[in-house]
Amino acid sequence: MPELPEVETVCLGLRARVRGFTVDRVTARRPGLRFPFPADLAERIAGARITAVRRRAKYGIIVLADAPAVLFHLGMSGRIVLEPPPYPPPGPHDHLALELVSASGAQLRLTFRDPRRFGLVDLLPGGADAAHPRLRELGPEPLDITGPELRAVLRGRAAPIKAALLDQRVVAGVGNIYACEALFRARISPRRRAGTVGPRRAEALAAGLRSVLADAIRAGGSTLRDHAQIGGEAGWFQRELLVYGRAGEACIACARPIRQFRQGGRSTFHCPACQR
């Protein structure tokens, strides 16, 4: 599933290309993805101008003037594709299309492509995150979180620290790949109880989260399977992963083998010698 860097990469690409365009036409080729599209989706956004594109956790938000924002989640295999005319025929997994036009007459088609249909598209009235049930309980953003802020949200939690990082109510947007990588950068065991992370470790972990996510965004995210940037390019941060997917390989810090184990139903990768 795309994590924060992949969604941020998509939002950055959209922001650079579609801001100022107007939604000219909306075409839904099925009633929905993981959840139904709003019944009046086309009527509520047609004719509205795109003023911004932003991200909250793993959700993208296309902000429209005088209309509800478009909230999207890429799910397991979703992509957003931007194409200039002449538009090719829609593919079997192209489920929703927004045809856009600029003040100068330039045209683009924005397509939600999702083979597995685990994504979602919804409306966010007034652009108010707190008003939407999928956004209102999300925790702080990890890109700018501080050590004291992180320690405050971890305090009293008995769950392992990696499980806490994956809880979107604790920290918003961190997924399995980047939790493993941030914990390695901070030299913290994924098994450590979240509530035992003291000030020094919280500072190191906050710095690890900020740095690994920023590095991944600069690299266009990680393409392990489906992720692609707006122009179709793969991300390449997977080439820089230090522990994730490297079970049995030598740790770059101590040369001992990276270990893999199951934690909360997901694979965890760590160096048992370096991470305490």
What are the catalytic residues?
2-3, 58, 266
Question: Do 112 and 96 touch, CB atoms closer than 8 A?
Answer: yes
> What single DSSP character describes residue 87?
P
39, 63, 100, 153 from 66: Cα distances, Å: 19, 9, 16, 36
Scored b (16 or more CB within 10 A) or e, 251-269 reads beeeeeebbbeebeeeebb
159: nearest Cα among 123, 136, 190, 119: 190
**55 beta partners:** 60
24, 172, 194 from 80: Cα distances, Å: 18, 22, 36
Structure tokens given for 40: 């009046």
Structure tokens given for 257: 């083998």
Q: Using CA atoms, how far apart are residues 37 and 9, in angstroms rounded to an integer? A: 24
Structure tokens given for 164: 């806490």
Q: Is the dihedral of CA 58, 143, 133, 37 positive or negative?
A: negative
Kindly give, in sequence order, each residue whose CB lies less than 8 Å from that of residue 170, ignoring residues fewer than 6 positions away.
139, 153, 154, 157, 164, 194
**263 beta partners:** 266
